[in-house]
Amino acid sequence: MSRIGRNPIPIPKAVQVTVTDGVVQVKGPKGALHTPVPAGISVAVDGQQVVVTRDGDLPPVRALHGLIRALLANAISGVTAGFKRELDIVGVGYKAELKNPREVVLSLGFSHQVTYKVPEGVAVSYDAKANRLTIEGIDKQRVGQVAAEIRSVRPPDVYKGKGVKYADEVLKLKAGKTGA
């Protein structure tokens, strides 16, 4: 049995979990999320915890057991505390600007500015002094995807470290050419 999948997920007091027709609905103080449950996996609410079990031992079902448990744990964590990713913008003249809550304008050394449209369910804020973008939301996958898309506009340079990097990312810079 999956080591992750067999662990029950505790439900905080402010969260409601309902299972209907192969979809788990999680409601909390920050919002609501729903997670589809594939065939072969069953989810049950047992008192103050969620239990994920699998029906058989086929490899595809075994692979999904721990995944579904992790997705449900992330949904419960998201509606209570939320998720946050921080991006540092490193480089002379590199900056970001929030036109409105749904658009981020990035100046990253290109001949043009790059406009990124922020999807629903994700909030972006910018600290100009620290040159740091903060991405927040209740859906862990969506927060991580937005952070990855913004980072992909100008990933960090391997020689100088200029570009957009995660705040907790450690860069190993290459040595440049040496003169004769």
> How confident is the model at residue 174, as a pLDDT?
93
Q: What percent of the chain has pLDDT over 90?
A: 88
Supply the mean pLDDT for the chain: 94
- Those residues whose C-beta lies under 8 Å from the C-beta of residue 65, and which sit 6 or more positions away, are 1, 2, 4, 5, 41, 52, 54
Answer yes or no: is pLDDT of 1 > 80.
no
For residues 79 and 87, what is the distance between their CA atoms, to the nearest angstrom? Answer: 23
Q: What percent of the chain has pLDDT over 70?
A: 98
For residues 116 and 106, what is the distance between their CA atoms, to the nearest angstrom? Answer: 8
Residue whose structure tokens are 């915890």: 49
For residues 161 and 90, what is the distance between their CA atoms, to the nearest angstrom? Answer: 7
> How confident is the model at residue 100, as a pLDDT?
86
Closest listed residue to residue 33, CA positions, set 128, 149, 109, 137: 137
> How confident is the model at residue 180, as a pLDDT?
63
> How confident is the model at residue 176, as a pLDDT?
86
Q: Model confidence over 96-155: pLDDT tens digits?
A: 999 988 999 999 999 999 999 999 999 999 999 999 999 999 999 999 999 999 999 999
> How confident is the model at residue 41, as a pLDDT?
94
Question: Cβ of 84: how many Cβ atoms within 10 Å?
Answer: 14
* Mean pLDDT score, 54-73: 93
pTM: 0.90
> How confident is the model at residue 178, as a pLDDT?
80
Q: Model confidence over 81-92: pLDDT tens digits?
A: 999 999 999 999
